[in-house]
Amino acid sequence: MSDEEEVGGRESKAARVERIKREKDGLDVWDDILRYSREGFDAIDPEDFERFKWYGVYRQKPNNAHFMIRLRLPNGALRAHQLELIADITEHYARGFGDITTRQNIQLHWITIEDIPYLFSRLNAVGVTTVAACGDDPRNIVGCPVHGVDCDELYDARPLVDEVHRLYVGNREYSNLPRKFKTSISGCGIRCAQGEINDIGINALWRDGEVGFDLEVGGGLSTVPRIATRLDAFLRPDQVAPVCGAIAALFRDHGCRTKRTKARMKFLVEQWGGERFLEELEARLPFAIDHDVPPRPEMPHVRDHVGVFAQKQEGLNYVGLTVRLGRLTAEQMRTLARLSREFGDGTVRTTNSQNAILTGVPTARVDELARQAGNALMPADGDVWQRTFMACTGAQFCNLAVTATKETPGEPSPAESALGALQERLGHFSEFIRINFNGCPNSCGQHWVADVGLQGVLMKGAGGEQVEGALVTIGGGLGRESGFGRNIGCRLPLTDVADALVRLFSAYQELGGEDENFRGWALRTPDAELAAHMKGEAVVAAAG
């Protein structure tokens, strides 16, 4: 179905979704879910599939009566007993595995409509919700996973995340937005919550000995990536929630509702510009915004919290563990929960780079914790490849996927093969290099902001047949020298991706300057040369 205006009298996708939302709010579908759970999959009104998203329930490909459920974890915060319950559900209802997502949530697949009410009642009983995890509403709020413990933190923004979460979730003021709406709030010293690629980015910063918050709006990825526009606003902590509410309302009232591809807030910000956006925002607030905002601090290229770090609480540490491609077995979930109880403070925090962090670990116990986590294949000193290699869901379950990423039943996993090849053939790499693998251009796995981005495409194979491949983007990143990856004109069959990555990083090791990082080398190396390295072709001919 076209996303654009009515085609040949048929309802466009945007018109259909808008009508579905008008006729019955997504939040009103719960009683129907209960009914369908009794009557079975075949009884489901196809239009209610759309509304199910408001409860974090999404049809999984190939749509054979199974669903993905997205557990909404504001700030990626979990208590051990919550993760133990998720592990039980994973084992008994989700075929044994779940994924940490790029918005710090956990997703489970293979769930049936019959089981949803029971599973949700168990999750709700331990304080885990799925409401507004999907749909045209405010999605999970990402935040710094080491809030409250990190020595370099400017402000513990967790209470603010919780306040905005309470404001957003289940609130009919925001349950019919033009499209998904993403918020990032943190007091992190390295801005790991990536405000610049969210609809709202709120980050702590200093001004004359006082901490306030920086506000940026209209960031996003997908097929039209955009870095958020910074507004002249210095917010006090008590202004954060009203500002988020007012921005969501602005988007609700002014966002595009006629084309799904244009219905994100970044297009409204682009159309209005920062100045008008701020005026419109202020007109909705009961207080004046302080416009005296100091320059933005420069952020490092490395923006995660993996590894072992001393906490601000003396004698305690947080330990960031690497989770391979974000995928956890039920057993690994139980191990994380157990380790957090035995060695830490009983919390497990998920990260937007699909990893997990345990906090409150006494110094004397760090080594044993790291040993046990390593045995469970979640090493704290995970090499850079496992630490930073991210992959979206891909064709295994995703309705929009062009290619496989993490896994396709019966076939080698392209992401796993590539990660394995880098680990085995290049071994330890001291530099932080971000490789993000997506099964289509939507960029759920954030390939635009990766050093090396892989975007699933269909292409011609050696014999002229159509094969699954990856289009390569290089040089993306946030923080210092931020920018989106550039298309270097290189498409590779998925079966060649592992070798191509090894060749690319080997070339960098050989040709990069002594103090030059991969980013610097990739920026100065011509596209054709990078592509030739990846394809194993003669570099001189390609560069010439």
Q: How far apart are CA 158 and CA 144, in angstroms?
A: 8
Pick from ligand SF4, ligand SRM, none: which does 440 bind, CB < 5 to 8 A by kind?
ligand SF4
Q: How far apart are CA 129 and CA 251, in angstroms?
A: 24
For residue 400, state whether it binds ligand SF4 (rule: CB under 6 A): yes
For residue 401, state whether it binds ligand SF4 (rule: CB under 6 A): yes
Q: How far apart are CA 227 and CA 212, in angstroms?
A: 21
For residue 98, state whether it binds ligand SF4 (rule: CB under 6 A): no
| Shortest CB 95 distance to ligand SRM, Å | 13
Q: How far apart are CA 89 and CA 122, in angstroms?
A: 9
The piece of 275-283, 313-321, 364-372, 397-405 that touches ligand SF4 (CB under 6 A) is 397-405
| Shortest CB 398 distance to ligand SF4, Å | 3
Residue 256 vs 502, nearer CB to ligand SRM: 256
Out of 438, 446, 473, 525, point to the residue binding ligand SF4 (CB under 6 A).
438
Residue 66 vs 533, nearer CB to ligand SRM: 66
For residue 534, state whether it binds ligand SF4 (rule: CB under 6 A): no
Residue 259 vs 284, nearer CB to ligand SRM: 259
Half-sphere exposure of 447 (CA within 13 A, CB side): 27
22-41 footprint of ligand SF4 as x/- string (CB under 6 A): --------------------
Residue type, position 524, single letter: R
Pick from ligand SRM, ligand SF4, none: which does 176 bind, CB < 5 to 8 A by kind?
none
Out of 439, 477, 485, 512, point to the residue binding ligand SF4 (CB under 6 A).
439
Q: Kind of pairing, strands 435-438 and 452-460?
A: parallel
Pick from ligand SRM, ligand SF4, none: which does 53 bind, CB < 5 to 8 A by kind?
none
Residue 50's alpha-carbon distances to 24, 136, 207, 321, 424, in angstroms, are 11, 10, 45, 36, 44
| Shortest CB 133 distance to ligand SF4, Å | 14
| Shortest CB 183 distance to ligand SF4, Å | 19
Q: How far apart are CA 40 and CA 2, in angstroms?
A: 30
Q: How far apart are CA 288 and CA 488, in angstroms?
A: 46
Residue 3's alpha-carbon distances to 9, 11, 56, 178, 258, in angstroms, are 14, 9, 23, 13, 8
| Shortest CB 221 distance to ligand SRM, Å | 4
| Shortest CB 422 distance to ligand SRM, Å | 19
The piece of 14-22, 391-399, 487-495, 506-514 that touches ligand SF4 (CB under 6 A) is 391-399
| Shortest CB 294 distance to ligand SRM, Å | 26
Residue 360 vs 456, nearer CB to ligand SF4: 456
Binding site for ligand SRM (CB under 6 A): 58, 60, 68, 70, 99, 101-103, 105, 107, 139-140, 182, 197, 220-222, 264, 392-393, 397-400, 442-446
How far from the centroid of its chain's Cα atoms is residue 21's Cα?
25
Q: How far apart are CA 130 and CA 170, in angstroms?
A: 10
Q: Exposed (0-12), middle (13-18) or buried (19+): which is 333, by Cβ within 10 Å? A: buried
For residue 148, state whether it binds ligand SF4 (rule: CB under 6 A): no
**Which residues have a Cβ under 8 Å from the Cβ of 308 and sit 6 or more positions away?**
317, 318, 319, 320, 366, 370, 380, 381
Output phi, psi for 295, to 5 deg.
-60, 150
Residue 94 vs 160, nearer CB to ligand SF4: 94
Q: How far apart are CA 15 and CA 37, in angstroms?
A: 28
Query: What is the token pair recorded at 486?
Result: 């550039």
Residue 37's alpha-carbon distances to 234, 392, 404, in angstroms, are 48, 29, 31
Q: How far apart are CA 52 and CA 130, in angstroms?
A: 11
| Shortest CB 265 distance to ligand SRM, Å | 10
Q: How far apart are CA 298 and CA 482, in angstroms?
A: 10
The piece of 49-57, 329-337, 413-421, 442-450 that touches ligand SF4 (CB under 6 A) is 442-450
Out of 241, 444, 454, 501, point to the residue binding ligand SF4 (CB under 6 A).
444
For residue 394, state whether it binds ligand SF4 (rule: CB under 6 A): yes
Element (H, E) at 231: strand 229-235
445-474 footprint of ligand SF4 as x/- string (CB under 6 A): x-----------------------------
Residue 101 vs 317, nearer CB to ligand SRM: 101
Out of 37, 102, 311, 442, point to the residue binding ligand SF4 (CB under 6 A).
442
Which residues contact ligand SF4 by CB under 6 A? 392-394, 398, 400-401, 438-440, 442-445
